[in-house]
Each structure stands twice: as structure tokens, then as C-alpha cells.
Structure 1
Amino acid sequence: VDQMLEAMRDAKGQKPRLVHRLDRETSGCLLIAKTRFAASALTGSFRHRSARKIYWALVAGVPKPKQGRISTYLAKEESEEDSIMRVAAHGDEGAAHAVTYYAVVEASAQKLAWVSLKPVTGRTHQLRAHMAHIDHAIVGDPKYFNKENWELPGGIQKRLHLLARRIVIPHPRGGFIDVTAPLPPHMLQSWNLLGLEADRFDPIENAPEE
């Protein structure tokens, strides 16, 4: 992404600015500001939690209850090979509060579920760590999917099934920016194989604005 931004400099030599980031393996909506003014305003909207972010994921099993709130503290755990976010206790070094709302949109034979996710906070790997915490890790997650003796149904790629589906955020000059991303090819293939309908009612995305 940084190389792309370098290539998008304007006539004055200014390059667009990233307003937020996605994990490397995550597909979907990514906001880029063309000016310093827009970058400051949009970053402020994320900081003050006035941006509405919706994610879609395919997870192992079917969460119960089908709608809920996950509230934990997360802290980075370093190893020689990698780093992950682990659920921590309040007061642990580096621990930050993280809150996610989830809803099951559709299930497939009780083995897999399409879930809609709404993060209230924006911690690193928050959605991935939270779904693993409730024992419904995101399919294809190389860091957090560690279920033993669990095999993917045939035809489903072992890639992270997490999509930044939609962002609704105040426009710096009034009104709102509202963008939606389609399923990436590997997730669309999984949806088709499992008979999931991408236009199905989403309890989170289609909910009235708060």
C-alpha cells in the first residue's frame, strides 16, 4: 500500500495518507485521504469512534447465542517467531480494552458460520483474537486458528476469511462517506460452495443507525 501511495502523488508532490490500516491478509474497505485536512478529520472520526465499521467473516462452528458482545482486554505476546494478541487481565502490562459485537448471519451444517462483526474499539487483530477467544476462530487464520482435528470442507481455500465489508464515516466537509466492498474471490468461492447468499439480511449491517 505504501508503494501505491508513493505513485499517487499529486501535482504538488503530496501523496495520499492512510487513515487506518487493515491486517495484511484482510480484504475490503480501506480509506485514504487526499489532503492533510481530510486525513486529520477522518483520523479524528476513528479516534472518537464516530466511524461505523462492519466486517464479515467465516468462522468454525456456530456461535451461541447467535448475537452477542465480546469484551476483553488484549495484550501483545511476543515470541521468537511471531507475535499475537492474547486475552489479558485488566492491569496487565500493555493490556487494552477491546469490544466487539457479532451476529450470525447464516450457518452451514453447524460446522461453519458467516458472522457479521462490529468492532467498537480498534485494537490490533481484535476481531481475530476475539473470535478465537469464544472458540469460533476465523477460517484460514494463520495466527489464531488452532483447532485440533478440524478439516476444512473440500474446495475452501486456507486463506483468511475476513472482509472489511463496510465503512460509514462523517465526510470532512459534511454528509457521510459510505463504502461497501464485495467478497474477495476466495471468500466468494466459499460462499458459493456452502450455499450462502451474500444478499441475505445482516442483523448488524442492516440495523438502524444508532
Structure 2
Amino acid sequence: MTGEELQARLLHRDAMMLVIDKPAGLPVHSGPKGGESLEQLFDALRFGLPRAPALAHRLDKDTSGCLVLGRHRKALARLGDLFKSGRVSKTYWAVVEGTPDTDEGLIDLPLATKEPGRGWWMKVDPAGAPSKTRFRVRGRAASSHGGGDLTWVEFEPLTGRTHQLRVHSAACGFPILGDAVYGQALRFGGPPLHLHARAVTVPFAPGAEPVTATAPVPEHMRAALAACGAEV
């Protein structure tokens, strides 16, 4: 991806913050071994400011959609407080394998690191950090590949744990399509992860209208969502 291509994915811009449509498959920052990352392109998003914007939160490498950036130190401090206190509203769309038992509900399962030294892999653990996710079924479809039913689910994470939506959905019996870590997908050659940060609402300035941005459905999720009844 080039800086110009990243500029074309801009969803919101003001003096304090940006919201971009992160592409699936590109990490937000380089790992210990280096490699290409979205952060390396942020200089193209300065828009006249002396410094590039910085991440206000994270999305997994294979998750697409709304990513919030702060444009300077003061903005980043404010955004950090909003995310930490749970005042930023986030909506995710996913296609899952199987289907929830109810059309909507709350998943309340604490999460902890799976094993020391295994990086960001997580597990359900009664002694872990409190983790809550609201969900709502938006549509259903019979799978065209013979692997069972597919369901379009809207998630609202009420906490911000690593891999929260992926672990919660898998633990409840409906893993996200294409999840090669927590689901049944093949590590290589399977479908991409069908998880998309659809919308974000940030109440940045007290007394002002919140900033809301919506990211278009990525190409790799269109067919499965359409089969579940989404207009994409």
C-alpha cells in the first residue's frame, strides 16, 4: 500500500483525530522481526502538521475497518482516556460458522493470556480480566461450501481485551469464519478472517456531537454477508 492509497481510505478528518479504513492483512505496527506495517505510512496523513498521527487503539492484522488516530499529543491523551474508560462505541460485523442460540445477548467471559511466551493468544479463564461483548444476529444463510450454516452477527465489545470477539464467539460455539487461531479454519489456504470494524463513535469534545465513522464492507466479506441478507 502507498501513502496515497491510505489517504483514499480516510473516513473522517478534523483538527484532533482521523479515522481510516484499515485493510485486512496489514498489521498496524511492525512486530519484533520488522516487516511492512500501516504505521509506516502515517507520514502521508500529516495534512500540514509537523508530525504524523499515531494510533489511539489497535486492530488485529486480519481485521479490517475503522481505526482511530490522534493527530497530536493532546488529542492522543484525550482519545486514550476515552478508550480506556469505555466511552468509545465500537460496532463490528462478522460472519460466523454456526449460529448463536439466541438472536441477541451478552457474552460475559473473562479472558487471560493462553500461555506465557505465546504472544497475544488468549483463552477464557475465570481468573482473567473481565470481558463483555453484546451481540445481535443480523441474518443467516446455509453455507454454500457444505460446512454448515453461516450467520451474520453484529458485535459490540464493552471491554477491549486482545482478540476478545474472536475468543468469545469461538467459546460460545460460533467461531468467526476464517479464524485460523480460535476457529476451525486452515492456517494456510483457508478463507480470510471475516471480522470488520464497521463503525466507531467517539465523544471527543464534551457538549459537542460525537464523531461517527462507518467503514464499507471489505471485498473478501461481501459474498458471505450477501448470502446472509446484507445489502453490500
- TM-score when scaled to structure 1? 0.81
User: Deviation digits for residues 87-108 of structure 1, max 9, x if unmatched?
Assistant: 0012xxxx21100000111011
Q: Gaps spanning 5+ residues in structure 2: where?
A: 1-37, 143-147
Which residue number in structure 2 is paired with residue 61 of structure 1?
98
Superposed counterparts of 1:94-113, under 5 Å:
95-109=128-142, 111-113=149-151
Letter in 1 for 2:81: G
Letter in 1 for 2:167: A
Superposed counterparts of 1:160-199, under 5 Å:
160-172=193-205, 174-192=208-226, 194=227, 196-198=229-231
- TM-score when scaled to structure 2? 0.73
Letter in 1 for 2:87: S
Contact 1:16–1:33 under 8 Å retained in 2: yes
Paired positions, count: 186
Which residue number in structure 1 is paired with residue 171 of structure 2?
133
- CA–CA distance in 2 between the matches of 1:197 and 1:142? 24
- CA–CA distance in 2 between the matches of 1:179 and 1:10? 19
Which residue number in structure 2 is paired with residue 116 of structure 1?
154
Q: How far is the alpha carbon of 1:171 from its aligned partner? A: 2.4
Superposed counterparts of 1:1-210, under 5 Å:
1-9=38-46, 13-78=50-115, 83-90=120-127, 95-109=128-142, 111-146=149-184, 158-172=191-205, 174-192=208-226, 194=227, 196-198=229-231
Which residue number in structure 2 is paired with residue 206 of structure 1?
none
RMSD (CA atoms):
2.2
Identity over aligned residues, as a percent?
35
Q: Gaps spanning 5+ residues in structure 1: where?
A: 149-156, 200-210
Sort the Cα spacing of 1:71 and 1:161 in 2 relative to 1 into closer, same or farther, 3 A. same
